[in-house]
Structure formats: structure tokens, C-alpha cells
Amino acid sequence: MARHLPHQNRQWLSLPHLSTGWEIRRLALIWGGFALALVFTYITIFSLIYWFASLLLQEVNRSLAVFMTTLLTLLLLRLLYNGTQQVIDRLFFPDTANFKEKIDAICHHLTEIDNRERLKQFLGQQLPARLLVKEVYLHPQPRLETTKTITLPLEMGTRSLGFLTIGPKRSGRSFGYSEQVALKQLQEQVSLVLSGIQLAEAREAAEKTDQLKLNFLTNISHELRTPLNTVINSTGLVADGALGEITETQAEYLNRAVEGSEYLMNLLNDILDITKIETGQLTLQPEVMSLPEVIKETLPLINNPLQKKAVRLTVELEDNLPPVMADRLRVRQILLNLLSNAIKFTQEGSIRVRAWHKGNTVGVSIEDTGIGIPQESLPLIFEDYRQLVHRQQLQFERRRHLGTGLGLSITRALVELHGGKIWVESEGVPGRGSTFTFTLPLSTLKPGNGSKAMVNGKPVPSAWVNQ
């Protein structure tokens, strides 16, 4: 079994922990050398004090000389002990000499390692030379600890990272207590470095997986769109009677085929968009644009589903709305998603589209008189794959029209990519409906050298320009 290292720090001149014979011999040599150094130092200091006093004074006070010698010797006591220990270690125990300092230098070097190959090379080649051991190796599972080796469990919190085995020493001696305490620092540093490497590897693997998923979906989407477009166009021509007269029943079934194909096409687009958003590969093509014009361009796209319901659409646009810096196609997608949702959940009543300017933003709200959203569901409305279904909705909507639960999630992501905000308000009461609101930042225009800012080929009023 791998043994854990103790947490205590050895104190100067505290009772030593001796677990091997060589530690007893080492301690005996240190204390023997320390005693000799102490006697030599005491005699030397006393002789110097006595000699200087005899030069300066006619009569030397021996008691004072002894007191001064004792005081100076006590001040040098720790220095003498450490010096003796270093000399004994260098002469007889080179693998123990400056062991703590070696570990400090090794830990500092480990902070510069950021990949698994460099870590294995350092632990397998450089570390044995520095610690004067035969081998050092990483292994994922615990092994039986051989004689005179030490195995350090590598952990980060409750997560096991593997094990680090060190030894045996080239001298054949086992690890002493002070060395085990110093190795605790190495254990923690290797765990930290290995944990960082594993996280980086996991992130890289996830990025590769995301890229493969995106490539797969892109290819599948391309392969499916071609036949779907063929089905939509061909079926649409037949349904419109372009190839000959058909009955109402035939037209109804053909229109269902067109709607189903268009639903599949939208589903492919949503899945591709959400994948690009999740992998951070959805990019915008911003331009200075007029939001009222984009709203007017979007409204004809909802005429067909709107005409099938007793719903009145009103549009209220504030005069002289300033331009915004946004991706025209993506803003149209935001509006289309919100308007389609409003139509889907409103059987009768009205839908109102408003646009206004406030501060440094332009806002758009889409208010409907549909079934509304329960208060407890409001925080979940923009989450991925969420569908908040009312019993009333199930009474008048087929399951295939409920969607994937990605529309609002994509809408939120697109608004936030533009630097805007989106939120929803609803009392959850049928007839009072819901209000979705989003804002986009104004375009900062700074025309110079007599040039004029342009939006869609038209000069921008000077009141729109932010200096």
C-alpha cells in the first residue's frame, strides 16, 4: 500500500524521528561533530576575548570573559549545528545533503511544465539525477511498495490522479523522516501540475469532439438540404396547380408535405446554429442598419401562418430610430423566431410589435394575447431543449408544431452575441399573453473629412451620430 507522508514540520533541536539505522549513525556523527565544533568555538572565542582584553586593560576579569564567551557561543549555536550537519551530509550522506533545497528547486521547475510528455521526461530523467535515486515513475494504479522506495498518492480534492514512486536511493539507504516531510511538497506540486495537464487534455479532447460534431452536422445538413429543397419546390409547384389542376384534397395533402419538409429544413438550421453557438464558431457579419427596415422585411415571412388565425398584427415604430450595428440576417432570424412563437401560441386576439430608442440602445418588444407563460416557467424559457406546453395548447396544436425547444435558446444567444439583452414578461393568464423584449446597442458612427454616415445607401441624420 502507498503510504501518506506526515504533515508535521521538524523543528530545530526537537526530538528526532529515527526509523532506520543510518539515521542513528548520521545523528551520532552530527552531534559528535557539533560537540567538537562547540568546544573549538568556545575556546577560540575565549582566547580572542582574553587577548584583546589584555591589550586594552591592565587587569582581565576572567568571570566577565567567561560570560561574554558563553553569550557569543549561544548566539552561534544554531549556525554551528546547521554547519556541522551540512558538512557531515556532504562527506557521508550526499543524497540527504540539502534535500529540502533540492525539493524547492524541483517544485519551482515543475511550475513551468504544461504537458504530459515533458512531465514524464522530467520525472523519469532529471528528477532521479537531482535526488540521487535509481528511478522515478508515474503509474495510474497502486503497486506493492518495494524495499527502500516511497510511493506518493497524487490527488486533487477527492479525485485520484495516480501514484508517484521514488527510489531506491543509489546509496542503498531508505528515506528518512525529514526527507519524507520534504517529499510532501513534491507530492502536492506534482498533483497540481498533473491535474492542470489532465484538465487541458480534457478541454482539447472536448474541442476536437465539438469540431467533429460540427463537421458531421454541416455535412449531413448539406446532404439533406438538397433533396428537401427538391421536395419543397416540386411539391409546391404541384400544390399550386402549375402542372395541372388538382382537387382540394390533393392540394391539402401536398401542402402538408411542403409544411413537413419546411419543418425539417428549419430543424436542420436550428441544430446547426445551436452547435455553432455551443462550440463558439457562430460569427456575425455586423453592419450599420436600420431596425425598422429589417422589421418591415421580416413581416411578409409570417403572412402565411398569420392568415390562418383570427389574429390582428399591429406595428408601432418610433420616428427617427437611430441605426444599430448588427448582423442583418441574424436580426431577421431573432424577429422571425419571436413572431413565430407569438403566432403559434395565440389562437385569436392580437400581436403588437413595438420599436423604440432609449439611451444607448434600440429596443423591440413583441406582445401577444396568447396563452401566456406560468410564472414558475419564466426562468426556464430560454434554456436549451425546453418546451413549456399548456393543456390548452395541446387542444389546438399538433405535436409536430411544438418544435425542438431550441428557438428561444438560439434567439437569446444571438441577442447576447450582439451585446444586447432579452427578457420575457407574462402573467401566465390566457388572453393576457406574453411580451418578449430585446435590445441592441446603437452604432457608434464617427464620420470624418466631410464624409457622411450612410445606412442602406441613405444619409444618416446628424442626431443619430454619437460623437
pLDDT at residue 438, rounded to an integer: 95
Q: How far apart are CA 444 and CA 322, in angstroms?
A: 10
25's CB contacts (< 8 A; 6+ apart) are none
297's CB contacts (< 8 A; 6+ apart) are 332
Cell 412563437 -> residue: 341
Does residue 392 fall inside a structural domain?
A: yes
Provide the pLDDT confidence category of residue 390 given band limits of 50, 70 and 90. Answer: very low
pLDDT at residue 398, rounded to an integer: 36
- Judge contact between 132 and 170, C-beta under 8 A: yes
Q: How far apart are CA 366 and CA 337, in angstroms?
A: 11
335: which strand partners?
none
Does residue 102 fall inside a structural domain?
A: no
Residue finishing a domain among 73, 92, 111: 92
Q: How far apart are CA 212 and CA 363, in angstroms?
A: 38
Does residue 372 fall inside a structural domain?
A: yes
Does residue 172 fall inside a structural domain?
A: no
Provide the pLDDT confidence category of residue 456 given band limits of 50, 70 and 90. Answer: very low
| pLDDT(385) > 70 | no
- Rounded average pLDDT over 396-407: 52
pLDDT at residue 386, rounded to an integer: 55
Does residue 162 fall inside a structural domain?
A: no
Q: How far apart are CA 20 and CA 387, in angstroms?
A: 70
Q: Are residues 266 and 292 in the same domain?
A: no
Provide the pLDDT confidence category of residue 243 given band limits of 50, 70 and 90. Answer: confident
| pLDDT(465) > 70 | no
Sign of CA dihedral 402, 403, 407, 408: positive
- Judge contact between 381 and 445, C-beta under 8 A: no
| pLDDT(448) > 80 | no
- Rounded average pLDDT over 197-211: 87
Q: Could you tell me the three cell numbers for 261?
A: 419538409
Asked which of 54-63, 115-124, 207-216 is least confident by mean pLDDT, the reply is 54-63
| pLDDT(463) > 80 | no
| pLDDT(9) > 60 | no
Q: Are residues 271 and 337 in the same domain?
A: no
If one compares 179 and 395, the residue with the highest pLDDT of the two is 179
Q: How far apart are CA 269 and CA 222, in angstroms?
A: 10
For residue range 420-429, list pLDDT tens digits in order. 999 999 887 7
432's CB contacts (< 8 A; 6+ apart) are 369, 372, 426
- Rounded average pLDDT over 237-257: 84
pLDDT at residue 447, rounded to an integer: 38
Q: Are residues 208 and 351 in the same domain?
A: no
What is the b/e burial string over 34-56, where b = at least 16 CB atoms within 10 angstroms of the residue's CB? beebbeebbeebbeebbeebeee
**Residue 420: which of 347, 346, 331 has the closest Cα?**
331
Total domains, the chain? 3
pLDDT at residue 334, rounded to an integer: 94
**Residue type (1 letter), 447:** P
- State phi, psi for 400 to the nearest 5 degrees: -70, -15
Range of the domain at 34: 21-92
Q: Are residues 341 and 398 in the same domain?
A: yes
Q: Determine the length of the chain.
A: 467
Q: Which long-range contacts (CB under 8 A, 24 or more apart) does 28-34 make?
A: 29/88, 29/92, 30/81, 30/84, 30/85, 30/88, 33/84, 33/87, 33/88, 34/80, 34/81, 34/84, 34/85
pLDDT at residue 423, rounded to an integer: 94
For residue range 32-46, list pLDDT tens digits in order. 888 998 999 989 988
| pLDDT(405) > 60 | yes
| pLDDT(19) > 70 | no
Q: Are residues 359 and 274 in the same domain?
A: no
Residue finishing a domain among 39, 61, 92: 92
Q: Are residues 333 and 363 in the same domain?
A: yes
**Residue 335: which of 262, 410, 267, 387 has the closest Cα?**
410
For residue range 339-359, list pLDDT tens digits in order. 998 998 888 899 999 999 998
| pLDDT(157) > 70 | yes
Provide the pLDDT confidence category of residue 144 given band limits of 50, 70 and 90. Answer: low
Q: Could you tell me the three cell numbers for 394?
A: 395541446
For residue range 51-75, list pLDDT tens digits in order. 888 887 767 788 888 888 899 989 9
Mean residue pLDDT across the chain:
80
| pLDDT(392) > 70 | no
- Judge contact between 196 and 114, C-beta under 8 A: yes
- Rounded average pLDDT over 223-252: 83
For residue range 258-293, list pLDDT tens digits in order. 878 887 888 888 888 887 887 787 888 889 999 999
Provide the pLDDT confidence category of residue 332 given band limits of 50, 70 and 90. Answer: very high
**Residue type (1 letter), 257:** A
Q: Could you tell me the three cell numbers for 34?
A: 557539533
Q: Are residues 223 and 342 in the same domain?
A: no
For residue range 359-380, list pLDDT tens digits in order. 899 999 999 998 888 888 888 8
- Rounded average pLDDT over 179-185: 88
Q: How far apart are CA 149 and CA 135, in angstroms?
A: 10
- Judge contact between 445 and 303, C-beta under 8 A: no
Three-state SS at 307: helix
Report the CATH number at residue 433: 3.30.565.10
Residue finishing a domain among 92, 115, 148: 92
Report the CATH number at residue 209: 1.10.287
Does residue 255 fall inside a structural domain?
A: yes
Does residue 240 fall inside a structural domain?
A: yes
Does residue 77 fall inside a structural domain?
A: yes
Q: Are residues 238 and 362 in the same domain?
A: no
Q: Are residues 452 and 316 in the same domain?
A: yes
| pLDDT(29) > 70 | yes
| Percentage, residues of the chain above pLDDT 70 | 85
Q: How far apart are CA 307 and CA 106, in angstroms?
A: 75
- Helix (H) / strand (E) element for 225: namely helix 177-239
Q: Are residues 408 and 337 in the same domain?
A: yes
- Judge contact between 366 and 351, C-beta under 8 A: yes
Q: Are residues 370 and 403 in the same domain?
A: yes
| Percentage, residues of the chain above pLDDT 90 | 21
Q: Are residues 315 and 219 in the same domain?
A: no
- Judge contact between 356 and 318, C-beta under 8 A: yes
**Residue 176: which of 75, 25, 366 has the closest Cα?**
25
Q: How far apart are CA 352 and CA 366, in angstroms?
A: 6
- Rounded average pLDDT over 203-210: 86
Q: Which of 194-198, 234-238, 399-403, 444-448 has the highest mean pLDDT?
A: 194-198
- Judge contact between 387 and 405, C-beta under 8 A: yes
